[in-house]
Structure 1
Amino acid sequence: MRELFDAAVRAISQFLYKQTTLILVILFCVGVGVAISSMSRLSENIIQSQALETAAWYSESLREARTLYSSQTIDRLENDANLDVTVTHDYTKHAGAVPLPATFLMELSKNLTSEERGTVVRLYSDYPFPWRQEEGGPRDTYEREALAYLKQHPDQPFYRFETFQGRESLRYAEADIMEASCVGCHNSHPQTPKDDWQVGDVRGIFEVTQPLDTYVAQTNVELRSLSAMLGGLSILGVTGIAVVIRRLRHISRELEKRVRERTAQLQESNEQLAAQQQRSEQLLLNILPAAIAARLKQGNQKIAQGFTEVTILFADLVNFTQLAEQLPAEMLVDILNDLFSEFDTLTDKHDLEKIKTIGDAYMVAGGLPIPRNDHAEAVAEMALDLLHAVEEFNDKYHQSIRIRVGINTGPVVAGVIGKKKFIYDLWGDAVNLASRMESCGEVGCIQVSESTYRRLRSKYVFQERGLVTVKGKGKITSYWLTGRQLCSLPAAE
């Protein structure tokens, strides 16, 4: 399956290599398409920005025109007592009359409205004077929404891009704020629809409607010209690259051949190196615990660690010396290897750490290098399995090997010593006592110390041996571990 996959990848790679020019043409076309699409979106943004800027300018011009008309014309006329001039909305019906500022602004808006360009300028309010009732109020949904929005946000414009009179347009509105000079006039006028105006109220809306089709047409012309230029540049670029590719193809074939040869050599070397590395890793794991081996590979030169409580087991083949005198050396080593291999299997089964073998003695520990709470239970299980394993071994090989086991629980120091043939070893009084439990025990029995007994008495069956003399300790009480309890009870306090 892997070979089929690799063959498919190589075939695809060769096809893509041979079709480089075609791929480049496709990529250039895609690039041009993306560029045109991006320019189209950019053009749309520019069109909208220009329309907004123009509408804002219209609105500002209207406001400035009315302000100038009010301050420079109406105020001067009203303050000059020698002039008999009437300021009214129907100024055309009265000789010597001039229009109100609002009327002036409406007339100016009509003059600014362009039928050809479609620009519409309007001034409307929800409180129009009676003579402007028909055209002075909001006429559609947009104008009503503009009034509602600008009353809440008078300092912000309200605009929308929508279809207006059949043309895509910008509708732009700004609030017409009541100024101090206009409050009195509006509140006192006999036909006013609202007589409680205050400074800052929104009295109406300036709206400028600006069609976008003129901007769009101009932009499309420029966009087509730019697209044609990009297409021409793309063709020139692809042609040039295709010429270069054809000239480099022969060199590429030679390089590919050399690369394949070199890759095969490197692959063979890497496989040999990986195999050697794997053998080294396995050898290291056979000597040291995995966690300790990992620390050594990380560069830790000194490895030492204290453990507050672990359980140590020593097992010794009692009559192996006499057996050694009776059997040939090769057979003796085979027997010892087979038996200790079975011990190793039990060590792995109970997730314990084999420390070392010394002649015909086997040492194992639980609770290190990774601490665990059930270290004593795991060691006890292995001890019982060791007795059973020796019995099965004797039956299978017709031997009479006997074993003696000692167990102790306590604190130890563990670490790696030596530069050549280094080992992971344990030190401490707990180790010595475990060894004494084995050496002063009896054949076919498991002798445990007081500390191990206290850890296991609720789960296993023990028989008190009584006081035994231990070198360096004097007389201590020890116990025989004889089996497992069928129903574990809580340990007595």
Structure 2
Amino acid sequence: MAVVDSSGVNPRPSRTFVGNILSPVLRLLNRRTIPLLAILFIAGLAGAMINMSRLSSDLIQSQAVQSSALYAQAIKEARTLYSNNAIAPLKQVHPDVAVTPEYANLPGAVPLPATFLIELSQSISRQNPGMSVRLYSDYPFRWRQQDGGPQDDFEQAALTYLRQHPNETFVRFEEFRGRSALRYAEADIMKPSCVACHNTHPDSPKRDWKEGDVRGILEITRPLDSFIAQTQTGLRGTFMMLGGLLLLALLGIGIVMSRLRQTSRELELRVAERTAQLRQANEQLLVEQEKSERLLLNILPEPIAHQLKEGQNNIADGFAEATILFCDLVGFTKLSERMHPTQLISLLNEIFSQFDRLTEKHGLEKIKTIGDAYMVVGGLPVPRADHAEAIAEMALDMQAEIRRFNQRRRQQCDIRIGINTGPVVAGVIGTKKFIYDLWGDTVNVASRMESHGVEGEIQVTASTYEQLKHRYTFQSRGSITVKDKGEMVTYLLTGRKAKREMVSLTKF
């Protein structure tokens, strides 16, 4: 549906105006886009390279720390296993076995756990060129006085820090022996099995060791130049690939911009043509606006449609008196079981289309159809005094139309009609799929008149009967039980009174 504002002017921007703005923009892009994009791509590539280099450096350091931690854990576990699973059982079986750092000069002697750890560290250092594994302390045994203590600033700093924080590690990345390296240090904690030995050994420099004391430091130094060289080789390959992608991207942009230049020229040639088409489209839009207006009036009553167009959101009016009719096709469910859906809808459309013509004939307002039910009201949205008579005429004509339909289609359809008169509220609510609807007890009772009615008959309430009794004939149905309403006196509208009878009643 075409949309226009209340003034009837198309709210969409003029295509001529868009063309006037677009042409210089395209020319500017043609002149400056490729250099600008090239600069942006190069800046992005440089940023990516810097970031990748930084991430690679962080990754090298992280991996070096993790690897050194694993080395330290393995060395310390080896010393613990040696002490618990070798020395202790050996001393139980052979108490006279000497456990000494001079084990190489004494037949049958074995090394101390610390000696074992030191020699294991030296073996690891020899098998891994550039790597250094050291165990040092500020309380070395006398035979290790020369190289068993801290040798440089890092080792002294590690001893100071780890004595205060024995459960942490001490790490630096620095030049070591002319190479970039990681220096990793952990505290060597005094174990329960070692306390007695260190406190009783004749060469021990300290005799008051306790469990948990920091005996010394285990340091692992690993050169990083090989890691860095491998990473730089990989980065160079990555940077070359990114450079190649940049060149391909710029080539692609050049091709696209060439195509844009051609498109721009074509666009300028078509502006005049589009302007003429726009003028024609505006004329067509006015036609579509009229169609939309007719469609809106076909959905909503004209006064309600005007209120919506003026911007009113909540439309609801109270009416002191109106007459409501509900009609239902009897046996529609059984009919749908033996008829193809397409034929069934065609049949229903034919009936309801004729009912729509009757609403126009009698000046009534169709409210809605629900399945095979039809709802119509008299007396709104524009009040009228004869609303009940108009509904009565509609009901009688509906019965006549169904009879003609059955003869024409050779069907046996029938309808059940219910009518009630009383106050209602009518309006439009919500923001989508507008529908003009009714609310109130009068509506509910009218629906009950239909659902509790008799096949082929028109059942009305006492209020409707009082409006129509002088012009129409009725058959009293007496008191019936109505759902949610209890006992109600109802009547069956059977036809129109003769004019002479109406005149005599009026005189009376």
| TM-score where L is the length of structure 2 | 0.47
Compute the TM-score of the two structures, normalised by the length of structure 1: 0.48
More RCO (CA 8 Å, sep 6+): 2
